[in-house]
Structure 1
Amino acid sequence: MRLSRYIVPILLIILFNCNDKPQLPDPLEAGWKNKNVCEVLEENKALRVLKCTFPPNIGHELHYHNPHVGYTISGSKFRIKDATGVREVNVPTGYSFSNDKKTSHEVLNVGDSTAVFLIMEYR
């Protein structure tokens, strides 16, 4: 009987420590105000290639990225919110970037031109 006295509190601790927060969407699932901003250009066992388009005042809700490489087809100015805080950056046309770990952020095009990115995600 003494053992059962300890099992209930342990089970409660386990239940409350479970991740009850919904997982963030990936870049394809995430959009902006219920509208898609990314489309799949290619998908296979090794790679998924997305094209993401952001007219002025359009962003990308909070989402995660698996390891990826990206390329800016057309740049603009963005407000970025991530684990380091909020900042505004000019993303130039022809800029490439990569991340070898899972990351998350939210972005908003605060510039005056439409930005277009290619995102190549490793599977």
Structure 2
Amino acid sequence: MKNIVFVLILVLVSCKPAQTLPDPLEAGWEGKKVCEVLSETKQQRILKCTFPPNVGHQKHYHKPHFGYTLAGSTFQITDSKGTRNVPVTTGVNWSNDQLSEHEVLNVGDSTAVFLIVEPK
């Protein structure tokens, strides 16, 4: 019985849940914030995140959310699927209904701007 309890404690301690990572607002790049709160209510939070060329977003987690691209660019995205470059077009929207985590870097030549809407 002691061995089972020890193994369970070891597993729990060694697991790194996404919540130990910063959320999009807390995460920044090289010590500087990239997101700002545009609106926050009891129901939702709306962030505006701005990425000039060669600026990214340190590894962070997202709760389920909706996103909209105000200005696009090309991003290097690193997540559980690996690292890849993805062109992100102005006007594109997406939604994610699960907890996710990633790190991004604007490898394009234009400033990208996103709106992130997070239900609470």
Detail structure 1 runs of 4+ shifted over 4 Å in the superposition. Answer: none
Aligned to 1:74: 71
Aligned to 1:12: 6
Residue 52 (structure 2) pairs with residue 55 (structure 1): yes
Task: Give the alignment partner of residue 114 of structure 1, picking from 97, 101, 111.
Answer: 111
Task: Give the alignment partner of residue 21 of structure 2, picking from 15, 21, 24.
Answer: 24
Aligned to 1:3: none
Which range moves more in the overlay, 92-101 or 13-22?
13-22
Cα separation, 2, equivalents of 1:33 and 1:73: 23
Aligned to 2:95: 98
Residue identity (%): 59
- Structure 1 residue 12, shift from structure 2 partner: 2.4
Cα separation, 1, equivalents of 2:22 and 2:35: 12
Cα separation, 1, equivalents of 2:111 and 2:70: 10
Determine helix, strand or coil for the equivalent of 1:17: helix
- Structure 1 residue 104, shift from structure 2 partner: 0.9
What TM-score comes out, normalization by structure 1 length?
A: 0.88
Deviations 1:34-71 (A, max 9, x none): 11100111111111100000000000011111111101
Determine helix, strand or coil for the equivalent of 1:18: helix
- Structure 1 residue 13, shift from structure 2 partner: 2.0
- Structure 1 residue 119, shift from structure 2 partner: 0.2
What TM-score comes out, normalization by structure 2 length?
A: 0.90
Q: What is the total number of aligned residue pairs between the two structures?
A: 117
Aligned to 1:87: 84
Cα separation, 1, equivalents of 2:82 and 2:11: 26
- Structure 1 residue 10, shift from structure 2 partner: 3.6
Larger Rg: 1
Which range moves more in the overlay, 17-26 or 58-67?
17-26
